[in-house]
Structure 1
């Protein structure tokens, strides 16, 4: 498996709650008109007011050292291969991963809870009786890196700016924000239009707070001037497209807050950028990179035998993946008319021989994905129960009939690489859709060939899917693969200028309505820069996305997500590929960390620390 491409890994908002003994209403455990130190959608907060630190950190972790790593996840417009802007919050350009470390937010997530946020810049939050507005009391000690105070005016300005000029990651969730008002320097009110999902607040209280003065003076645009931040780190040395260093802010105003204690331990975090994954891997072997997560099964199986690993200076191990739904899948772009027929999309899916690829490419290290929400409770199984049917029945006639039967499963081949039965079925589906074989390729009644180009910026992806291309050509599809450079790839993704792309996503533990809108809703289909790569624009799907937002408890969320999964799988907009249940990592043995890792995120650059004694033993002191 190749790593996810560009903006394809999400860590949006907070979300899911424990299965048992949950209240029946969102924020039911959070009273209105009472200042609260945190918010939890579906259950009580784990940490009481005045807690000292999160359980998954070492509060005595030493500060110091440098952490040079290859990021394995990224947000917004960030790119792990190159960068040409230091603004992560707009659509234009490619910014470096971890830029968000430079900015504080109203509240911060607890990584051992699926749906909880605790005060950071905001000391407390008060929910209005109608639950349409939230009042935050900001800490008067909050400061930007230049020493200027961070006020409610900055926060209100930031929310309005991100709504109007921010990337879709911000604009879509903020669409229901009616106003952001600074009642005084330390009091912020976020007011919604009444049509929002009740859990929407959890998606936006982690958004960055920007300096109004800085933006009004210097603008909110791309370029290599960093925006003024207030977070634990600030931008240090920069070599555009090659290297960025983040320097720990020694006098960081929130260093000793409970939500930060034991975190942000490295004096310097460095990211070097490589266009070629082999060069990236060689940097680990040489000790130029200290931490790497492997994303190619062949490399994990065969390449980790270099001297420093054999000597015990480099550690190779697996960590369990997060308890969050994930998807790696092929998106077929409906904006191309030739992919609008579900039979064409289904035929294309039949050309992917996972069983052959698993044996020949993947070293039996991957499992076939069936769901768009794999490894979660949201994966549909078997036939829909009564509660799912209550959502699906009103849509009968507007959704595929297959959604009312057994959940659609991906075909199982004979593992030959060219399963004649599967390819024969694909040929019949194409013929039924009006594509007739004429010579080497199929044509429609206008004499047009069925063409398809798989777009990628990673050679390894193109190699892994070359048998898929060959099988499509075998059934008469004029299929090709194109590798483009990273900036062109990002531009074409943002403008939906492609036929087919392969993408991977990590969803939040309890997906919110705005998150699902980014992928599957009509509102995102025509908006540049969303993750709705398939171009889904269907009122029936919109209804199910709305049902996700209307969920009042954990069980109703599961039901709505399963119904959505069931319909999407029957539509064949996205063709699920495969998944891995663990992180494959290698690192130089000079770090300390607390185990077990938290269940819902794995920010090693924030949680780990430099261990001088370990470093001395391996010659890295």
Structure 2
């Protein structure tokens, strides 16, 4: 049992342990759902959001920003190339129209211990790596042990409740768990890639490499030019081609990613026809940058596709490992100085909605006052939490109304004074240490400078000395891995079924783990306890309540200056593609599109 289960949760978990098992796979089945039953039965032929008769062929050119120096995505070192996940198959694969259901891929069947202490996968004998060698139980066990010992540090947290794996049959592998309270563990283990032990036998796993990796997935690496481009080719004799979970997917013969220095250069390359498909994330561009001849005559299509994916939290992440940011009043002052309304109106053409939750665009976002279920989880920690958390949902500062920004800056000055910071000769200094409030906003995309600079002007009005620095992708990634920054822009995405990954985002253990995504350095007993409550939720209602409670605590901790979100995909693409009539609920589903020869010929 995880040691971070605190206070009232210990007694509740004993009851929950008999309730959390994913019943769909108890006897050994084709799929496993975290809550409820899988949507697709054992005899399903394909997912509803694919066209099983989609033609294979053609090529697609995509873009990536920055650079890459590795084809090894499973370790901390290096910047891996885009698209590498297409090379590696996993034990199971998820559907994109259910919150969290995994279907067998390399694994033909999935069986969960009735008491919840293990999960067993029976491998498909036909599963093959690209060199023709079979995928074996030994490969599965070697992959698990290697990822946990030498892989990315966050994987150790992800698999920390998995005590080991053993061969229990010719094609069977069983994973054992420390306890039986974590219903997500069987699904998490199923998401593990299976790597070829024989290919790695004469290679060092903990070092970067530009060797073309060997996998068992639908694509293999065909061409590499470090930092410039990478090309994948479809595996014609792909072993899983006719499985129901793969029908209608992975239709392009070749997928090429070209790397560009920044977003502006990438946009100009798209307009010139240098690549084919673009997901536009900049509202200014969506409003102004697509009035060119290819759009006007229909050769380039634009559309917005709504989705139900939680949009997560994008914002200015504040590194609380720095002493100057340890006081939540200082962090709240930083938030008060950000004028979202001006930014949205002047930079984004009012194209965005302000984020008020770490789980926006979903039922997981906290609303109104806490429910009875939330209060049951929060009450033991009331003395450590702000009273406002118990009264209403969090609202980020607004500059609407008379003298809105001036009002907010005045409130920020009061908070800073309460935290021991006062203005002396125009400079904000700490009254005891004499330290000046000075920090750097670190970026890896120059397009964000136009957002940061107006915020910096407001912060300077408070007496702060703020610098803005944009660095290349490799340096940025290295500094993120080592938490070597003051403030940065990040996005933490979320799913409809949060679970073990929350440890990597917010827990005390992750705050000390290089390469984790706990950028803010959060270490809080209440947060850790609520994460465990999410992981061990016995049903959907409890999961929602626990997630909303965590949302409230994170928001009132002011670890992030919230930005904005859009519950839709903005797409621009040269009109050479076909796609299914039905879009998946929780994904863009680009792997279900195909190359349309007639449309391409018209271009």
**TM-score above 0.5, yes or no:** yes
Aligned to 2:23: 29
SS across alignment from 2:476? helix
Q: Measure the CA separation in 2 of the matches of 1:272 and 1:182.
A: 42
Residue 125 of structure 1: aligned partner: 110
2:560 is aligned, of 553, 574, 581, to: 574
Partner of 1:304: 290
TM-aligned CA distance change 1:85 to 1:227, over 3 Å: same
Does structure 1 residue 362 correspond to structure 2 residue 348?
A: yes
Pair 1:439-2:420 in alignment: no
- Which whole-Å deviations, capped at 9, do the CAs of 1:537-573 have from their partners, x for residues lacking one? 1112101111111211111111000100111111101
- 1:560 aligned residue (546, 556, 578): 546
Tell me, what secondary structure is at the counterpart of 1:595?
coil
Q: In the alignment, is residue 427 of structure 1 matched against residue 420 of structure 2?
A: no
Cα deviation for residue 418 of structure 1 reads: 7.4
2:197 counterpart of 1:212: yes
The aligned residue for residue 135 of structure 1 is 120
Residue 247 of structure 1 aligns to a residue whose secondary structure is strand
Question: Which segments of 5 or more consecutive residues in structure 1 lack a partner in the other structure?
Answer: 1-23, 72-79
Task: Give the match for residue 385 of structure 2.
Answer: 399
Structure 2 partner of 1:58: 51
| Structure-to-structure mapping, 1:254-293, within 5 angstroms | 254-293=240-279
**SS in structure 1 of the partner of residue 384 of structure 2:** coil
Distance (Å, rounded) in 2 between the aligned partners of 1:505 and 1:381: 20
Q: Look up the match of 1:460.
A: 447
Equivalent positions of 1:481-492 (< 5 A) are 481-492=468-479
User: How far did residue 70 of structure 1 move?
Assistant: 2.7
**Residue 251 in 1 paired to residue 237 in 2?**
yes
Corresponding residue of 1:3? none
For 1:111 and 1:200, locate their aligned partners in 2 and report how far apart those are by CA, in whole Å. Answer: 20
Shift of residue 177, structure 1, vs aligned partner: 1.0
Contact persistence 1:356–1:415 (CA under 8 A):
no
C-alpha distance in 2 between matches for 1:540 and 1:267? 50
Change in Cα spacing, 1:356 to 1:235, as seen in structure 2 (3 Å) is same
Task: Give the SS at the match of 1:396.
Answer: helix
- The answer for the alignment partner of 1:11 in structure 2 is none
1:398 positional shift: 2.1
Contact kept, 8 Å, 1:317 with 1:585, in 2: the verdict is yes
Decide whether aligned partners of structure 1 residues 603 and 417 sit closer, same or farther in structure 2, where only a CA change above 3 A counts.
farther
Does structure 2 conserve the Cα–Cα contact (< 8 Å) formed by 1:176 and 1:195?
A: no
8 Å CA contact retained: 1:353, 1:415: no
The whole-number CA distance in structure 2 between the counterparts of 1:392 and 1:325 is 25
Instruction: Select which of 23, 32, 45 maps to 2:38.
Output: 45
> 1:96, 1:432 → 2: CA distance?
47
Equivalent residue number for residue 8 of structure 2: none
TM superposition shift of 1:244: 0.3
User: Number of residues paired by the alignment?
Assistant: 584
* Residue 476 (1) aligns with residue 463 (2): yes
Question: What is the SS of the residue equivalent to 2:131?
Answer: coil
Which runs of structure 2 are paired with 1:346-357 in the superposition (5 Å)?
A: 346-357=332-343
TM-score by length of 2: 0.94
Give the alignment partner of residue 511 of structure 2, picking from 510, 513, 525: 525
Is the partner of 1:236 in helix, strand or coil?
Answer: strand
- Please report how far the alpha carbon of residue 195 of structure 1 lies from its aligned counterpart in structure 2 after TM superposition: 6.1
Local SS of the residue matching 1:419:
helix
CA contact (8 A) 2:359 2:365 kept: yes
Cα distance in 2 for partners of 1:175, 1:410 equals 35
Residue 614 of structure 1 aligns to a residue whose secondary structure is helix
Structure 2 residue aligned with 1:342, among 309, 328, 336? 328
2:530 is aligned with 1:544: yes
* In the alignment, structure 1 residue 449 sits paired with structure 2 residue 449: no
Q: Deviations over 1:277-327 (max 9, x none)?
A: 122112211212000011111111001011111111110111113433421
* Aligned CA-pair RMSD: 1.5
CA distance in 2, matches of 1:182, 1:420: 66
| Equivalences for residues 600-619 of structure 1 within 5 A | 600-604=586-590, 606-618=591-603
1:173 — aligned with what? 158
Counterpart-to-counterpart distance in 1, 2:341 and 2:241 = 50
Does residue 332 (structure 1) correspond to residue 325 (structure 2)? The answer is: no
Is 1:182 matched with 2:160? no
Q: Deviations over 1:338-377 (max 9, x none)?
A: 1111110111100000111111111000111111111111
Shift of 1:45: 1.1
SS at match of 2:96: coil
d(CA) in 1 for partners of 2:569, 2:506: 27
CA contact (8 A) 1:92 1:222 kept: yes
Deviation at 1:596, TM superposition (A): 2.7
Q: Say whether 1:494 aligns with 2:511.
A: no
2: CA distance, partners of 1:467 / 1:365: 18
Task: Show the counterpart of 1:227.
Answer: 213
Task: Name the counterpart of 2:372.
Answer: 386
- The 8 Å contact of residues 294 and 300 in structure 1, kept in 2 or not, is answered as yes
Partners of 1:267 and 1:119 in 2: how far apart?
25
Aligned equivalents of 2:166, 2:96: Cα separation in 1: 30
CA positional deviation for 1:28: 4.7
C-alpha change, 1:357 and 1:516, in structure 2 (3 Å) is same
Scaled by the length of structure 1, the TM-score of the pair is 0.92
Pairs within 5 Å for 1:154-165: 154-165=139-150
Q: Distance in 1 between matches of 2:400 and 2:99?
A: 40
Tell me the CA shift for residue 25 of structure 1: 3.9
Per-residue CA shift, 1:326-345, capped at 9, x if unaligned? 21122111110111111101
Q: Which residue of 1 aligns with 2:182?
A: 197
Answer whether contact 2:24 2:38 (CA < 8 A) is retained.
Answer: no
Does residue 1:104 correspond to 2:89, yes or no? yes
Contact 2:116 2:180 (8 Å CA) reproduced: no
1:596 and 2:589 equivalent?
no
Q: Is the 8 A contact 1:38 1:125 kept in 2?
A: yes
Q: Distance in 2 between matches of 1:417 and 1:82?
A: 44
CA distance in 2 between counterparts of 1:253 and 1:28 reads 29
Is the contact made by 1:173 and 1:200 (CA closer than 8 Å) also made in structure 2?
A: no
